[in-house]
Amino acid sequence: MNKNAAPEDVESGEHERTGTVWTATAHIVTAVIGSGVLALAWSVAQLGWVAGPLALAGFACVTYYTSTLLANAYRAPHPVTGTRNRTYMDAVRSYLSPREVFMCGIAQYVNLWGTMVGYTITATISMVAIRRSDCIHRNGAGAAARCDNTSATVLMLAFSIVQVVLSQFPGLEHITWLSVVAAVMSFAYSFIGLGLSVAEWVSHGGHLSGRIQGATAASSSKKLWNVLLALGNIAFAYTFAEVLIEIQDTLKPSPPENKTMKKAAMYGIGATTIFYISVGCAGYAAFGSDAPGNILTASGMGPFWLVDIANMCLILHLIGAYQVYAQPIFATMERWISSRWPEAKFINSAYTVNVPLIQRGSVTVAPYKLVLRTVVVIATTVVAMMIPFFNAVLGLLGAFSFWPLTVYFPISMHIAQEKITRGGRWYLLQGLSMVCLMISVAVGIGSVTDIVDSLKVATPFKTIPSSYEPDHSRWDSHSFTACNRLIAKKFVRIGGTGGWRRRMARPVAVDYDGRGGRGGCWRQAGREWEGGGSSSTAAEAGAKQHSGQESGDAAVVEGGGGRLSGKKGVEWPMRVTAADGGRPARKVAPRRRRPSKRAAAWRIHPRDG
């Protein structure tokens, strides 16, 4: 064990500890439940009805077990009577070598800061989605192009200004109210997402969608990458080890902090797992293999105002979660600056500010902290504008940090603390670590592939992904299955018990995000094509009249400068052809109770020119 001196055991002043098991639980739920919960339906869809829930439960068990080990490392050398370690790195420094301390610092703070970047992007996407859907609801589908002019940069700056203000609080113990509000918001949008998924499932007659082995893919390699990315999403959704020590440092010394923290971890992770399994399985039951990447952007998901409320709850949650990840960075940087220039007047000056929303009524603000924290938030915002693709980057950060922070260091510190020698217990602990390492490496490879693809289409400082924006780069490479969840409910019956009726000749399935997230169903009606892209009551293709009637005919809609319009704001130049580019469309079996019914697969492309 490394005998480096542990940090001073401070009991009063700025670091007075008043936390309880319930405040710690609120901090944990705030840190764990984030925007990742909205992608769990897609993750379960890739893994299937057996592997999906098992993966969620398995990662929950691993996270809880390693959290209990990490809680014992809060004090050293004894978990109850030892000296406090106020940060994750202090705990590693007390038990492991300097080389491992350096590795821990890189993994922890890159992940913390990367999560702040991702939360900035995600909050901006939700704000854009709210403004865009409200604009189209007020002005109609024809105003979709005008509603696209919403300035995402301004909204991102507004979010960052809020974070600059909140960052001036000295630590998490001063903004417990924010974590409580954020935790409530996380449950709110999780409940809304769960409720919308259940409602969609009931509208299908209550029949389970999906397959035991999960969604199919164009090739076995694509299926493998999807499975790995699904595991990565689940693994990252459970990571909060990098802030566990900081949360534990807010607890009162009696009862012992490690016992209180273990209870909080059990309550927080238990509640989180219930939500994760419920949301993931309900989304898969409702949408099957077409489960969208973000459950709140699924086509026809409930009334627009309810989805707006869910997005607002998500924004409020991210405001609080941002601080849970930012405060450890601030604390570490400020300690380093204070030790580097202990006599500097600018560093030591401070002022008292009255704040009515906190328990103590006032906070102490140092000018250098005001400048430092503001600069960190500004730098985070600039990076978010430069790389506005959250999922791929955060997936890589998750792969990079899950194994070392959640598994390797807690296990290594436990072995050092308990002086475990080579034997059955030692091999079991090391085996768990190696399995998690292999998962992280595999997920990292898949994430790098996604990042490379994202860099090909991203425009720094301009491209802010929208919940409704199509992935143009994938349109030419996808052949979409016929509509098995129908948005134009006034045209056809939901549930698919009778297949396609004759009057629904040539249904066209449209996928805007490459994962079935923005679907639409179309039928021929005289000289027009009526449809349900994004819950629209009617849509205009502006194309030639269809001359065929059977689903195997050649291309039927082409050219004419047509547009696809929807109530939620879908309006893009497009042309529709048969799946085989003009040859008879390949028939595929949609997901139905009567699999003998068939419908054509179609491909949708951006209009040439």
**Alpha helices by DSSP H, 172-211:** 176-203
The confidence band for 555, taking pLDDT boundaries of 50, 70 and 90, is: very low
Residues 6+ apart with CB under 8 A from 288: 45, 209, 210, 211, 215, 484, 485, 591
Q: What's residue 11's pLDDT?
A: 47
| Banded model confidence at residue 462, pLDDT cuts 50, 70, 90 | low
Q: Which of 17-31, 217-231, 368-382, 496-510 has the largest mean confidence?
A: 368-382
What does the pLDDT average to over 348-373? 74
Task: Average the pLDDT over 402-412 and give the result.
Answer: 92
Q: Is the pLDDT of residue 410 over 90?
A: yes
**Mean predicted confidence (pLDDT) in 232-254:** 85
84 and 256 Cβ atoms separated by less than 8 Å = no
**CA atoms of 192 and 185, how far apart (whole Å):** 11
Per-residue confidence band for 460, with pLDDT thresholds at 50, 70 and 90: low
* Res 413: pLDDT: 94
**pLDDT of the residue at 99:** 92
CA atoms within 13 A on the CB side of 567: 18
Q: How confident is the model at residue 401 (pLDDT cuts 50, 70, 90)?
A: confident
Strand ranges inside 327-442, DSSP E: 351-354, 362-365
201-216 mean pLDDT: 76
**pLDDT band of 141, cuts 50, 70, 90:** low
Mean pLDDT value of segment 300-328: 85
Choose between 299 and 259: higher pLDDT.
259
Average pLDDT, the chain: 70
pLDDT at 105 over 70: yes
Residue 553's pLDDT is what?
Answer: 28
Cis peptide before 470 (omega within 30 of 0): no
Q: Please name which of 150, 167, 176 lies closest in space to residue 16, comparing C-alpha atoms.
A: 176
> Contact, 487 vs 532, CB < 8 A?
yes
Handedness of CA 476, 479, 485, 491 (dihedral sign): positive
**Taking the C-alpha atoms of 330, 331, 336 and 337 in order, what is their torsion angle to the nearest 10 degrees?**
60
- Name beta bridge partners: 528: 525
Structure tokens at 424: 């059955």
| pLDDT for residue 377 is more than 60 | yes
pLDDT tier for residue 299 given thresholds of 50, 70 and 90: low
Q: How far apart are CA 602 and CA 414, in angstroms?
A: 56
**For residue 298, what are the contacts with CB-CB under 8 A and spacing of at least 6?**
196, 200, 283, 287, 291, 292, 517
Q: Which two tokens stand for residue 277?
A: 């399994």
pLDDT for 133 beyond 50? yes
Q: At what angle do helices 409-418 and 88-95 cross, to 10 degrees?
A: 40
Instruction: Give the per-residue pLDDT at 358.
Output: 59
- Rounded distance between C-alpha atoms, residue 240 and residue 121, angstroms: 20
Neighbouring-strand partners of residue 66? none
Return the pLDDT at 406: 92
What is the predicted pLDDT for the residue at 482? 31
When pLDDT is cut at 50, 70 and 90, the band that residue 518 belongs to is very low
Using the structure block, give the residue that is written with the tokens 């954020």: 182
pLDDT confidence of residue 583: 35
pLDDT at 470 over 60: no
Candidates 399, 483, 520; CA nearest to 449 is 399
Tell me: pLDDT of 12 over 50: no
DSSP-assigned states of every residue in 115-129: HHHHHHHHHHHHHHH
Of the pLDDT bands very low, low, confident and very high (cuts 50, 70, 90), residue 200 is confident
Can you give the C-alpha Rg of the chain in angstroms? 26
Residue 526 pLDDT level (bands cut at 50, 70, 90): very low
Q: Which domains does the chain have, with CATH numbers?
A: 13-457 (1.10.4160.10), 470-609 (no CATH)
Rounded Cα–Cα distance for residues 209 and 494 (Å): 13
More confident residue, 509 or 223: 223
48: left (phi over 0), alpha (psi -120 to 50) or beta: left
Percent of the chain residues past pLDDT 90, beyond the cut: 17
Does pLDDT of 363 surpass 70? no
* Phi and psi, residue 362, nearest 5°: -155, 160
Angstrom distance (rounded) from CA 602 to CA 582 = 10
Look at residue 13 in the predicted model and tell me its pLDDT. 44
Lookup result for tokens 């929807």: 566
E strand or H helix at 76, and its extent? strand 75-76
Distances (CA, A) of 553 to 397, 514, 545, 579, 602: 48, 25, 14, 11, 11
CA–CA dist 142, 157 (Å, integer): 29
User: What DSSP string describes 18-36?
Assistant: -B-HHHHHHHHHHHHSSGG
CA distances to 142, 491, 530, 604, 605 from 563, in Å: 10, 20, 12, 12, 11
Residues 6+ apart with CB under 8 A from 479: 579, 586, 601, 602, 603
pLDDT tops 80 at residue 397: no
pLDDT confidence of residue 94: 92
Sign of the Cα pseudo-torsion (214, 216, 217, 223, in order): positive
Among the ranges given (155-169, 267-281, 513-527), the one the predictor scored with the smallest mean pLDDT: 513-527
Token pair in block for residue 328: 């450890």
Residue 304 has pLDDT above 70, yes or no: yes
Three-state SS for 123-164 is: HHHHHHHHHHHHHHHHHCHHHHHHHCCCCHHHHHHHHHHHHH
The pLDDT assigned to 262 comes to 93
Phi-psi label, residue 314: left if phi above 0, alpha if psi -120 to 50, beta otherwise: alpha
pLDDT for 190 beyond 70: yes
Tokens 């296990």 found at: 411
pLDDT for the residue numbered 61: 94
Dump pLDDT digits (tens) for 173-183. 777 788 788 87
Greater model confidence, 77 or 303: 77
DSSP 8-state symbol, 480? B
pLDDT of residue 407: 94
Contact 283, 44 (CB under 8 A): yes
Torsion angle defined by CA atoms of residues 103, 104, 106 and 108, in that order, rounded to the nearest 10 degrees: 160
For residues 24 and 179, give the distance between their C-alpha atoms in angstroms, rounded to a whole number: 9
**Mean local confidence (pLDDT), 548-571:** 31
The lowest-confidence range among 242-256, 404-418, 556-570 is 556-570
Look at residue 224 in the predicted model and tell me its pLDDT: 82
The residue that leads in pLDDT, 76 or 564, is 76
DSSP labels, 77-89: SSTTTSEE--SHH
Task: Return the DSSP state at 513.
Answer: S
Map tokens 């580019």 to a residue: 581
Asked if the model's pLDDT at residue 414 lies above 90, the reply is yes
